[in-house]
Amino acid sequence: MNTWMAAGLFMIGMMGSGLAQDAGSIRLPPPETAGGMPLMQALQARRSSREFAGRPLPPQLLSNLLWAANGVNRPDSGKRTAPSARDWREIDVYVTTAEAAYRYDPATHTLTQVATGDLRRLTGVQDFVATAPMNLVYVADLDRTSDDDAPERKARFVAADAGFIAQNVYLFCASAGLATVVRGLVDPVALGKALRLGPRQQVVLAQSVGYPAGGR
């Protein structure tokens, strides 16, 4: 397939999803940052679910989810909804859907396509990952970490930073009535290759998200 055909298919796919596309990146609608379930109720509802309805999330819900995950909540500094060790901001959220894989850019609130096709089944080892409408992948970019930290400490910081994002997603899903499960069982080498990661990028965790099976 030539570049123009690929670009055309990409645009058709994005038009179908209701997302605006601009020079290779997809502009998400502005996140709705007010409202949601009271925090204590969201904590009460937080749980792991592994049964998903197949239908994709609409653009506004995807926008809200990604902002909750690791969006910019202080534009003056660019800081995020999730903390990060030494303010490295080294975790990128990748989004794999039935159509393609994207990387979320918090600063512009856009998705950049990194691969075409359905990579969902590569984001884990359990059967449901192939059909969950969306699997997030948390990828550490070690170029954004400092070499002052010993490898053991760096590994702890990176894992913790990904965990905060995962918990933000858990709480957002609890509030929005979505099903989710964070997953460490993943082949990071195969997935990294499919996502075209560089040698200094590491898959840390994945997380499936969708409407609950048989539900709303």
- Residues lying near ligand FMN in the complex (CB under 6 A) are found at 47-48, 50, 126, 181-185
Residue closer to ligand FMN, measured from CB, 57 or 205: 205
Q: Are 165 and 69 in contact (CB under 8 A)?
A: yes
- What residues does 111 pair with on adjacent strands? 26, 104
Q: What is the DSSP letter of 53?
A: -
- Cα 208 to Cα 21: distance, rounded to the nearest angstrom: 24
Q: Which helix (H) or strand (E) holds 161?
A: helix 151-176
Helices 59-70 and 151-176 cross at an angle (nearest 10°) of 140
**Is the dihedral angle over the CA atoms 47, 53, 56, 58 positive or is it negative?**
negative
Residue closer to ligand FMN, measured from CB, 20 or 45: 45
Measured from the CB of residue 205, what is the shortest distance to ligand FMN in angstroms? 6
Measured from the CB of residue 181, what is the shortest distance to ligand FMN in angstroms? 5
Measured from the CB of residue 206, what is the shortest distance to ligand FMN in angstroms? 8
Residue closer to ligand FMN, measured from CB, 101 or 181: 181
Measured from the CB of residue 213, what is the shortest distance to ligand FMN in angstroms? 15
Residue closer to ligand FMN, measured from CB, 52 or 110: 52
